[in-house]
Chain A
Amino acid sequence: MGDNKGEVEGANNFYDIQHRKYDVRKGLFAMNLQIVCAGIGGRGVLLASTIIIETAIKAGLKAMASDEYGMSQRGGSVVSLVKVGNFASPLVGRESANILLSFEESEFYRNLPFLKTGGVTLVNTSRQLLSANIERLLKKRRVQYFLLDADAIAMQKGMIQSSNMAMLGFFSAFDITPFSCDNIKETIRQKVKARLVEKNLEVFQAGYESAQSFQLSADSKNQ
Chain B
Amino acid sequence: MREVMIGNFAIARGLVEAGLELAAAYPGTPSSEILPGIIEFKNREKLAIHAEWSTNERCALEVAFGGALAGRKAACMMKQVGLNVAFPPLLHGYAQPLKGGLVIVSCDDPGPQSSQTEQDTRLLAAHFGIPVFDPASPGEAGDIAYYAMKYSCEHKVPVIVRSTHRVSHARESIELFVPGSRKVKLDEGLKLKGKGRIGIVTSGMTCSITMDILDELNLGDKISLYKVSRVFPLGTEVIGFVNQQEKTLVLEETDVTLEALLDHGFKVLGRRSGHVPSAGELTYDIVRDIICRFANDHGISVPEFNADTSIEDALKEIQIAPRPPKLCAGCSHRASFYAMKSAFPDAVFPGDIGCYTLGISMGAVDTCLDMGGGVTFASGFYDTFAQDGTLKPILASVGDSTFFHACLTPLYDSVLKKRRFVLVIMDNSTTAMTGLQPTPQSGISADGTSTYSIKIENIIKGFGIEFLRIVDPYDIPLLLRTIKEAYEYLETESAGPAVIIARRECLLFSKIREEDTRDMARLVAECTGCKICIKTFDCPGSYFDEEKKKICIDEGLCIRCGMCYYACPTSDEGKSLKELKKVRNEKKRREGREDSKK
- The 8 Å CB contact of A95, one of B172, B283, B307, B432, is B307
Stretch from A63-71, A194-202, A210-218 contacting the other chain:
A63-71
Given A40-B323, A75-B557, check contact A11 B4 (CB 8 Å): no
CA distance in complex: A215, B315 (Å): 27
Contact residues of B between 275 and 331, Cβ < 8 Å to A: 283-285, 288, 305, 307-308, 310-315, 317-318, 320-321, 323, 325-326, 328-329
- Are A11 and B189 in contact, CB atoms less than 8 angstroms apart? yes
Q: Which residues of B353-384 have CB atoms within 8 Å of chain A's CB atoms?
A: 355, 358
Q: Which residues of B contact A16 (CB under 8 A)?
A: 191-192, 211, 220
Establish whether residues A18 and B221, one from each chain, have CB atoms under 8 Å apart when the complex forms. yes
Whole-angstrom CA separation of A71 from B358 in the bound complex:
9
Among residues of A, the one whose C-beta sits closest to the C-beta of B6 is A67
A7 touches B288 (CB 8 A): no
Is the CB–CB distance between A72 and B209 below 8 Å?
no
Residues of B within 8 A of A63 (CB): 172-173
Q: A109 vs B312: C-alpha distance in the bound complex, in angstroms?
A: 10
- The interface stretch among B63-71, B237-245, B336-344, B464-472 is B237-245
Chain B binder among A23-31, A132-140, A166-174, A178-186: A132-140
In contact, A74 and B308 (Cβ under 8 angstroms): no
Task: Kindly state the interface size class of chain B when it binds its partner.
Answer: 35 or more
> Is there an interface contact between B433 and A71, defined as CB atoms closer than 8 Å?
yes
Known contacts A73-B508, A106-B320, A109-B315; is-contact A5 B193 (Cβ 8 Å): yes
Contact of B191 with A13 in the complex, beta carbons under 8 Å: yes
Which residues in A have their C-beta under 8 angstroms from that of B315?
A: 109, 112, 134
Within the complex, the shortest CB–CB distance from B50 to chain A, in Å, comes to 30
Q: Let me know if A21 is at the binding interface, CB within 8 A.
A: yes
Query: Which residue of chain A is the closest to B219 with respect to CB atoms?
Result: A17
* Set B2, B4, B245, B312: member contacting A50, Cβ < 8 A: B4
Collect the chain A residues with CB atoms within 8 Å of residue B16's CB: none
How many A-B pairs have beta carbons closer than 8 Å: the answer is 199
Chain A residues within 8 Å of B114, by CB? 70-71
Q: Which residues of A contact B326 (CB under 8 A)?
A: 72, 75-76
Most chain B CB within 10 A, of A8, A13, A65, is at: A8
Pair B4/A75 contact, Cβ less than 8 Å: no
| B189: contacting residue among A13, A76, A133, CB under 8 A | A13
Task: Report yes or no: B171 in contact with A50, Cβ–Cβ below 8 A.
Answer: yes
A1-B197, A71-B325 known; A90 vs B172 contact (CB < 8 Å): yes
- The docked-state distance in angstroms from the alpha carbon of A48 to that of B364 is 36
* Distance of B355 from chain A, by nearest CB (Å): 7
CA distance A131 to B556 in the complex (A): 25
State A155–B284 Cα separation when bound (angstroms). 38
B261 smallest CB distance to A (angstroms):
18
A57 contacts chain B at the CB level, 8 A cutoff: yes
CB distance from A46 to the nearest CB of B (A): 9
Check A133–B314 contact: CB distance below 8 A: yes
Chain A residues near B288 (CB, 8 Å)?
Answer: 93
Contact pick for A67, options B171, B226, B313, CB 8 Å: B171
Cross-chain contact of B556 among A4, A43, A67 (Cβ < 8 A): A43
Shortest CB distance B326–A (Å): 6
Contact of B329 among A1, A12, A74, A77 (CB under 8 A): A74
Give chain B residues whose Cβ lies under 8 Å from the Cβ of A149: none
Find out whether the CB atom of A88 lies under 8 angstroms from the CB atom of B285: no
Residues of B within 8 A of A106 (CB): 320-321, 323
What's the minimum C-beta distance from B136 to chain A, rounded to whole angstroms? Answer: 8
A134 to B508, CA, bound (A): 37
Which among B185, B208, B213, B323 has the highest number of chain A CB atoms within 10 Å? B323
**Cα-based distance from A11 to B242 in the complex (angstroms):** 14
Are A94 and B195 closer than 8 Å at their CB atoms? no
Alpha-carbon gap, A21 to B215, bound state (A): 9
Are B310 and A140 touching (Cβ within 8 A)?
yes
Q: How far is the CB of B397 from chain A (nearest CB, A)?
A: 17
For residues 52 through 101 of chain A, which have their beta carbon under 8 Å from a beta carbon of chain B? Answer: 53-54, 57, 62-68, 70-77, 87-96
- Could you say which of B224, B307, B323 contacts A77, with CB atoms under 8 Å apart? B323
- CB-based nearest A residue for B319: A106
A76 with B323: CB separation less than 8 A: yes
Minimum CB–CB distance for A48 against chain B, Å: 13
* Least CB distance, A130 to chain B, in whole angstroms: 9
- Across the interface, B318 reaches (CB within 8 A) one of A71, A72, A96, A109, namely A109
Cβ-defined contact, B244 with A89, below 8 A: no
Q: Are B433 and A88 in contact (CB under 8 A)?
A: no
Docked pose: A189 CA to B171 CA in angstroms: 20
Q: How far is the CA of A191 from the CA of B432 in the complex (A)?
A: 25
B545 is an interface residue with CB less than 8 A from chain A: no
The yes or no answer to B260 lying at the interface (CB within 8 A) is no
**B60: Cβ under 8 A from any A Cβ:** no
Check A1/B196 contact, CB under 8 A, given A74-B328, A91-B284: yes
The chain A residue with its CB closest to the CB of B539 is A75
Query: Whole-angstrom distance between the alpha carbons of A17 and B211 in the complex?
Result: 7
Question: In this assembly, does B491 line the interface, its C-beta being within 8 Å of a C-beta of chain A?
Answer: no
Please, which residue of chain A has its CB at the minimum distance from the CB of B318?
A: A109
Question: Which of A4, A43, A89, A137 is in CB contact (< 8 Å) with B209?
Answer: A89
- Asked if B188 CB lies within 8 Å of chain A CBs, one says yes
Q: Which 9 A-B residue pairings sit nearest by Cβ, starting from the closest?
A: A11-B189, A89-B208, A17-B220, A93-B284, A75-B540, A137-B314, A71-B325, A4-B244, A88-B211
6 A-B pairs within 8 Å (CB atoms) are namely: A13-B190, A68-B169, A71-B29, A71-B433, A89-B137, A91-B209
Interface residues of A (CB under 8 A from B): 1-2, 4-5, 7-18, 21, 40, 42-43, 50, 53-54, 57, 62-68, 70-77, 87-96, 106, 109-110, 112-113, 117, 131, 133-134, 136-137, 140-141, 151, 160-161
Contact residues of B with A, CB < 8 Å? 2, 4, 6, 29, 113-114, 136-138, 166, 169-173, 185, 187-193, 195-197, 205, 207-209, 211-216, 220-221, 224, 226, 237, 240-241, 244-245, 283-285, 288, 305, 307-308, 310-315, 317-318, 320-321, 323, 325-326, 328-329, 355, 358, 432-433, 508, 540, 555-557
Taking A12-B188, A75-B557, A94-B284 as given, write out 17 further A-B residue pairs in contact, using a Cβ cutoff of 8 Å, ordered by the A residue number. Answer: A11-B188, A11-B237, A11-B241, A14-B191, A17-B211, A18-B221, A40-B323, A43-B556, A53-B172, A63-B173, A68-B169, A75-B326, A76-B326, A87-B212, A88-B215, A89-B166, A151-B556
